[in-house]
Structure 1
Amino acid sequence: MPYVRIELPPTIAPERAHPIGDAVHDAMVETIAVPVDDKFQLITRHPPGAIVCTPEYLGVKHTAQALFIQIFLAPGRTLQQKRALYAMIARDVSAAAQVGPSDVLISLVETLRENWSFGDGVAHYTL
């Protein structure tokens, strides 16, 4: 169960939120073997000034359209899979959001399967 948080600046139109979420999900399905029906996302649009992103870091330039994608998932993906995921998300989200790929910032947070509950207060992966 990857859980995806997508933080959008006010410069991205509201109608782009779901296509952005779909692009992230499709990339996870294709590159890291997430099941198609395993879609859990929180997409948040922020007011001006709520997203802080340095104008340049590690040689990558960012604009006021920078958006953040954080994916919580179980460990087990290879570096090659992660690189493919980053590349596909940057490509497809930039198209969906109509921003440059340098404005698509991605982080993965790996957490053990025992730390997930899908509801009812049950640690489903421990059963």
Structure 2
Amino acid sequence: MYEWFDNGFVINNIFENQNIFIGSEVDNINYRPLSGIVTMEILTKCDVINPPKKWEKWDFVTVNIELAGIEEFNAKTNSGKMVLNEIVISKEDEQYILEITGKDKSNIVCKFVIGRVHNLIPMVYKPEWERYESSLI
């Protein structure tokens, strides 16, 4: 399911065969055209099947990914949250094509060579700060 990541096994180890993207929220997108890189922070509330030993608790998990070798990047976003409705990955020659559609008609299309999961961060609500923070702190 995550063959477009060179380390997709990281997601499979924690979430098994769940599609962690559907219903998740894109929190941050950063396109760096000079280096040909797109980074994304995706918040997923999928069930964690095999949590790493250092994870004690979490409300959701932030998945930080990087797409490299960007040939094309288009994004249409609306104000507010981008909740993922559909994600399609296809391969054309030596490139992958990522097509993301949000529930609010927002979309992202990206052609890239390889993707990488940088890290998965368990997040927990901290009432004293009135925000979410990494539960690893």
- Identify, as 1 or 2, the structure richer in helix: 1
TM-score (norm. length: structure 2): 0.27
Identify which of structures 1 and 2 has the higher relative contact order when contacts are C-alpha pairs closer than 8 Å and 6+ apart: 1
TM-score (norm. length: structure 1): 0.28
- Identify, as 1 or 2, the structure richer in strand: 2
